[in-house]
Amino acid sequence: MNYNYQVPKRKKLRLIINTDAKNEADDQFAIAHALLTPKFDIKGIIAAHFGERKSNQSMEDSYEEIEKLLDLMDLPSTVNVVKGAPKSIPDEKTSILSDGAQLIIDEAMKDDSLPLFVIFLGPITDLASAYLQQPEIANRLTAIWIGGGVYPEGGKEFNLSNDISAANVIFKSNIPLWQVPKNVYQMVKVGISELEHKVRPHGEVGKYLFEQLAEYNLSPYWTNPWADSWCLGDSPAVSLLIDSHDFHYEEKDAPLVTDDMYYVSGASNRKIRVYNYIDSRFTLEDMYAKLALNYPEKSATLKGNEVVKNEN
């Protein structure tokens, strides 16, 4: 990584990324941001499912997208990528065996002085499966989940909809949980023109990040009305581990979730951290800087009547 500073080892953390990468277009930005952050010792990326509304092999689609992104970042052989569950757990007592759940278990049970965080950019299926298989992991990791409706009522939210049972397993567990609900992750708004200006020029990965988002903007699946803007809603899971926004969360009683995704308060005897604010400019500018420093923009010079592109 091209930085003129170092993160002391004692301040680093172990990180597993769990991502439904091919669901739409924002996971890719969060993955790239995490991989370029020197504070993180990346222990693996788990491909997650995103239901069957768009694909009957959504986890496999996520796996292929992660591999593609790593290739564009020139990191294909340096990061462990594994497959998570292909679908939601059938109920709150039944896990799904997968390499992703096993990775969480194995890393959690290691004797390592660095804290372990697992970020979930989609459903929380693989953590629920890992916990049901080995409850001892509960006090050996911290989970960050992008998902769930607005407090106190809850309500419809995409990531939650893809595994309500898994969410209830985790809410009932004693796994430390930082939740970023829908109204908070949607604070990371950005104009598509800003992404073209600040992301697209930076290497093949920057070009792909922008172009896959611009393409998805035309997709029939994209029903949001924004059109000229986007929500990079998965990126808070990364920026909260760079700066934990200590004054922007509340300790709440963990709820349970009904089948129609509403919260039932007072149903749990433990607390979780629920964020009420994300600094979107900090989040975005840190990502822009890391892309620019590691994938410098090509500049153009005029030689005779010919434009020649040079690396900065």
Nearest-angstrom CA–CA distance, 303 and 87: 56
Domains of the chain: 9-311 (3.90.245.10)
What is the per-residue pLDDT for 95?
A: 98
Angle (CA) 275-279-284 rounded to 5° is: 125
Query: What would you measure as the largest C-alpha separation in the chain, in angstroms?
Result: 74
Q: What is the mean pLDDT of residues 165-187?
A: 98
What is the per-residue pLDDT for 312?
A: 44
66: nearest Cα among 1, 18, 115, 128: 18
pLDDT tens figures, 26-39: 999 999 999 999 99
pLDDT tens figures, 104-120: 999 999 999 999 999 99
Angular region, 23: left φ>0, alpha ψ -120 to 50, beta rest: alpha
